[in-house]
Amino acid sequence: MHVLIYTADDGVLKSVAPMLMTLLGGNDTVTCINDPNRFIGYIEDWGYTVDVLMTEPDSVNFGTAELLPYIRENYPAIQFVYLYSGKAVDFRNHCIAHSALLPVPLDMGLAAGVIRSCRAKADYNRSAGLFVSDRNITTYMPFGNIIYVESQTRAVRIYTPDSELTINENLSAIEKRLDGRFVKCHQSFIVNINYVRMYICDPEDMNYACLELTNGERIPVSVRKQKSTKSFFEDYCSSLMFENSGSFIKLK
């Protein structure tokens, strides 16, 4: 497994990296970066190899405010772990979903559990996928790369971070072949919950709700699907160990 630590605090690097090495296996690697320009270049060149990104909340704005959403959009298998030194941090100010929070200095038992969980999630995101056929051409699409699926006239369009694919199938047939990370929020849309940043509703218009994706797009949520979609999103936030899952559900 490849763990990337990005922080502006050299003290955190010196305390976290050696302890992580004792928890990881012989084939695992830890890369430490404290320079924003090097971090950007590393992600562009080697982001596809990273399983876990450990960073401090303060580092989120350390010259890379726009890069972390880009990572979530283009490398969905990467699990985000926030390192914090005990000072009060308002995580509602950070739009990046994190898999876990780790106090510094590290608690070895807690860190070992987080590493096991992140390894399993990264492997899962990269393994399962969908085979689709159109005009005698079969394409394999990893579930982790599918942002959402949209029903169109006599066809279905599948959206990924870098492409769109239109096939002659119906949405119900596709839905049966997807796994538990997808939610049908509308009769015309199925969304990968890993790409959802917020559930948005309007207290003045009970008929309005949508899912805001990490790329800024908004997918409508039908009135009939509002309760189940909101519940699905709240469960997803809880599984990522958000301290306040409600912070990612906002009013329009």
Q: Taking a C-beta distance cutoff of 8 angstroms, is the pair 135, 142 a contact?
A: no
Label each residue of the chain as H, E or C. CEEEEECCCHHHHHHHHHHHHHHCCCCCEEEEECCHHHHHHHHHHHHHHCCEEEECHHHHHCCCCCHHHHHHHHCCCCEEEEEECCCCCCHHHCCCCCCEEEECCCCHHHHHHHHHHHHHHHHHHHHCEEEEEECCEEEEEEHHHCCEEEEECCEEEEECCCCEEEECCCHHHHHCCCCCCEEEEECCEEEEHHHEEEEEEECCEEEEEEEEECCCCEEECCHHHHHHHHHHHHHHHHHCCCCCHHHHEEEC
Q: What pLDDT, in 10s, does the model give residues 205-247?
A: 888 999 999 889 999 999 999 999 999 998 888 766 443 333 3
| pLDDT over 60 (residue 34) | yes
CATH fold for the domain made of 2-126: Rossmann fold (3.40.50)
Q: What is the pTM of this model?
A: 0.53
CATH fold for the domain made of 128-251: OB fold (Dihydrolipoamide Acetyltransferase, E2P) (2.40.50)
Chain-centre distance for alpha carbon 111: 20
Residues spanned by CATH 3.40.50.2300 within the chain?
2-126
What is the mean pLDDT of the segment spanning 31-56? 82
Please report how many Cα atoms fall inside a 13 Å half-sphere around the Cα of residue 99, on the Cβ side. Answer: 25
Highest mean pLDDT among 39-43, 59-63, 93-97, 188-192: 188-192
Q: What is the pLDDT of residue 92?
A: 46
What number of other Cβ atoms are within 10 A of residue 154's Cβ? 8
Q: What pLDDT, in 10s, does the model give residues 55-89?
A: 876 655 555 556 766 776 667 667 888 887 765 45
Task: Report d(CA 147, CA 57) in Å as an integer.
Answer: 26
